[in-house]
Amino acid sequence: MSLRQRAPRPLTRMTCMATQAPVPPQLPRQTPSHDDGGSVVLERRTQKLQPPAMHQVVMLNDDFTPMEFVVVVLQEYFHKNREAATQIMLKIHLDGRGVCGVYTPDVAATKVDQVMQAAHHAGHPLQCVSEPVE
């Protein structure tokens, strides 16, 4: 095969030349400090983490759900002792609402679902909501 009959070679990465030199990636700026030996030491910057947003689980009063059922729900799903559950139940009864606990949003949503399912299965119209803590 002569030079004229040779098939053209496909272009590859190696055959193309860059017109500009590649730029190295930029590293985050850090504050250098000098010690007595003349060497440079980079100081770490600490990241400030925020705690997760908290939600409170609130039970609402109604005229049909028995007080004893509310106490049992507080004991079973919120792990309150009998006395604490009775105090929360009385607050719900007298004030129209009472905080059962404060949790992360996903745990609070799970607690609300558990209470609503238990009330539905028992045939009670008990209402429970989750709201952000202010």
Residue with tokens 């496909």: 10
- Residue 8 is classified by DSSP as P
- Averaged in consecutive runs of 10 residues, what is the pLDDT profile of the chain (134 residues)? 56 56 65 62 83 95 96 98 98 97 97 98 97 93
Distance CA 66, CA 82 (A): 16
CA–CA–CA angle 63, 92, 104 (5° rounding)? 125
For residue 12, the model assigns a pLDDT of: 53
For residue 69, the model assigns a pLDDT of: 98
For residue 10, the model assigns a pLDDT of: 57
Residue with tokens 């059962």: 100
| Percentages (nearest 5) of helix, strand, coil residues in the chain | 35, 20, 45
Hey, what domains does the chain have and what are their CATH numbers? 66-132 (3.30.1390.10)
Q: Is the pTM of this model over 0.75?
A: no
